[in-house]
Amino acid sequence: MVKVLLTGGSGFIAAHILEILLERGYDVVTTVRSEEKGQHILEAHPNVPKEKLSYVVIEDIGKDGVFDEVVKSDPPFDYVIHTASPFHYRFTDPVKEVLDPAIKGTTGILKAIQAFAPTVKRVVITSSFAAMARTDTLVKVYDESVWANVAWEESVGDNKGATYRGSKASLPLARRPPVTLAEKAAWDYVEKEKPSFDLTVINPPAVFGPIVHHISSLSDINTSNANILEAIQGKYKDGNMPRSIVFLWVDVRDVALAHVRAIEVAEAGGKRLFIVAGHFSAKRIADAIRETHPELESKLPENVIDDLPADVYQYNNTLGRQLLGIEYRTLKECIGDTVSSLIKLGA
């Protein structure tokens, strides 16, 4: 059987990856931060035998050597999908709580695989559009060749968005020491160390979609679905729906499939893949909720002005579509299913 190590299995995107892996017959070991989170995953899959699904607790992927024992599995791993990384703005120490887990977590798992898991053929890492989005130049069309320009100095400052962007990628800026953050660090590692595995990186923009992972309460909603939840709770009824910072989106089920296809398609090795469905804006989300769930009309903001700029940047998702065969869901389907899942959770 083909065996996969999936990090961060209790997360929004990873939970969907886990479903697809199990559906396709892979054996999966997933990492979580507590026994309780691991047990929730097993309880959600009562019919999956324990040799096909198990978990290991890694409380903090930012600590040195935490993956060393985990990657020594028997039978050994064939693939690793590394999704675990902080994606929230609840931190007070950007280095310890975001940058270390993102960067050291990424280099740590690569080092551990190289040292202790020679059977691993490919590592797939979840990066982000945050590792592409530039703040200094006007990029007309985003594709896999574009890298973000956040520097270490900005990442450790007060701007929480810059910390998150920095956790994924940074390029050296003039007169500043070169810094290499998570995604960059991964590519550098592979280039320098020439390990026996190859690397594929998935770069999604804002990811929306139904919740399949366990959350103890709606206040634990993952960051990218939070505005949708707040909209259906009536928080933006007065019309102040937060403006989008990023104008590109993708459905979580398509991102999850891209991760699994990335281990199945030989040609995906060595590729950075921009997995993006299209443009969105706060208004388009409100409209999609309205169309799919008319019963929520009284909660929704009226007369939201479309904040999608007329000259918004474009995207090229050809490589991901052609290589991985992803057919993207529409915003209406995605938002409709997200809202249905939130209602089921008590929203």
- If one asks whether residue 128 binds ligand NDP (CB under 6 A), the answer comes out as yes
Place of tokens 């923009």: 205
Residue of 4, 10, 79, 273 that binds ligand NDP (CB under 6 A):
10
Query: Structure tokens of 330?
Result: 């529409």
The nearest distance, CB 253 to ligand NDP, in angstroms, is: 13
Stretch that binds ligand NDP, among 7-15, 114-122, 136-144, 309-317 (CB under 6 A): 7-15
Residue 87 binds to ligand NDP (criterion: CB under 6 A): yes
Which sign does the torsion angle of CA 213, 8, 247, 318 carry? negative
CB of residue 72 to ligand NDP, shortest distance in Å: 19
Per-residue DSSP letters for 42-61? HHT-TTS-TTTEEEEE-S-T
Closest distance to ligand NDP from the beta carbon of 238 (Å): 26
Dmax of the chain from CA atoms? 58
For β-strands 3-7 and 27-32, DSSP reports them as: parallel
Nearby residues of 211 by Cβ (< 8 Å), 6 or more positions away: 12, 221, 222, 225, 338, 341, 342, 345
**What torsion, rounded to 10 degrees, do the Cα atoms 295, 301, 302, 307 define?**
-130
Report the residue number whose CB is nearest to ligand NDP.
Answer: 11
Q: Tell me the closest approach of the beta carbon of residue 33 to ligand NDP, in angstroms.
A: 4
Q: Are 67 and 112 in contact (CB under 8 A)?
A: yes
Stretch that binds ligand NDP, among 77-85, 115-123, 142-150, 256-264 (CB under 6 A): 77-85
Min CB(16)–ligand NDP separation in Å = 9
- Residues 316-335, one symbol each (x = binds ligand NDP by CB under 6 A, - = not), give --------------------
Distance in Å, CB of 204 to ligand NDP, minimum = 4
Q: Which residues bind ligand NDP (CB under 6 A)?
A: 8, 10-14, 33, 37, 58, 60-62, 83-87, 101, 126, 128, 204, 206-207, 222, 224
